[in-house]
Amino acid sequence: MSQLNIGIMGASGRMGRMLIEATLNNPNTKLAGAFVRSISSLIGADSGEFIGVGKTGVPLSTITLDGVQALIDFSLPEALDEVLDACLAHKVPLVMGVTGLSDAQEAKLKAASEHVAIVYAGNYSTGVNLSLNLLATTARVLGLDADVEIIEHHHKHKIDAPSGTALMMAKAVADARGQHLPNALVHGRHGAAKRQVGDIGMHAIRGGEIIGEHTVEFIMDGEIIAITHKAQSRATFATGAVRAAEWVATQPAGLYTMQDVLGLKG
């Protein structure tokens, strides 16, 4: 079986380096492109030598999708237009891992998915996506009898808050209870206001080098159910994203999630 040619957008970033390594370590995939911003001083450097695994023959460069069969993007929201234009021009499927997209950018992503296959998820961890199913089941059974609070921890360098994963978790709970976001969300608390029935509390904590921890508490009179996921390595996100690239490369145009990739829907 031939290897899938994968391109990595944002290759010089923290996640980009992990994605390069995950692509190289997967026997079914081949690194075909490692892309950085046009102003980067790293352009021309060998991607393998850059991450310390030896020469790959794939230099860091601006985005060009000739020969690329699937693109993984964990860069920044500012690069979205360039990424979508390239994918549409070359009919290349996309795995989108950028969080913090605006409503207008999400609309562009959805429009592009009418022409190419796109996986869009706030988290590519298998454990997180299994947790979403557990959250939906718990919320469906308990309904509005449980007060729900979401607490997420991330490193001090993270730009967006709440995290994409926390929002995915909130949506899983809200959908299962017949609620709508963002109406049900209450971000933090201050002042003198009583908690309202159906509120989904959201609390974002930033500090140190925490990779990512999420806890959803279902608080009832007399007992509490807490569902927690802790990421111990970013490698789990990179491995999941490469798995998503393998999957999306064979799919028709459409907008998919990691739940589709793992066969967890329905």
Active site residues: 154, 158
Is 187 among the annotated ligand-binding positions? no
| Tokens describing residue 206 | 């930033």
Q: Is the dihedral of CA 239, 17, 166, 203 positive or negative?
A: positive
Is 133 among the annotated ligand-binding positions? no
Is 121 among the annotated ligand-binding positions? yes
**Angle subtended at Cα 178 by Cα 174 and Cα 180, rounded to the nearest 5 degrees:** 55
Is 12 among the annotated ligand-binding positions? yes
Is 198 among the annotated ligand-binding positions? no
Is 165 among the annotated ligand-binding positions? yes
Is 10 among the annotated ligand-binding positions? yes
Is 143 among the annotated ligand-binding positions? no
Residue 186's Cβ-count burial label (10 Å; 0-12, 13-18, 19+) is middle
Instruction: Tell me if the bond preceding 182 is cis, omega within 30° of 0.
Output: yes
Q: Tell me the binding residues for (S)-2,3,4,5-tetrahydrodipicolinate.
A: 155, 164-165
Q: Tell me the binding residues.
A: 10-15, 97-99, 121-124, 155, 164-165
Q: Tell me the binding residues for NAD(+).
A: 10-15, 97-99, 121-124
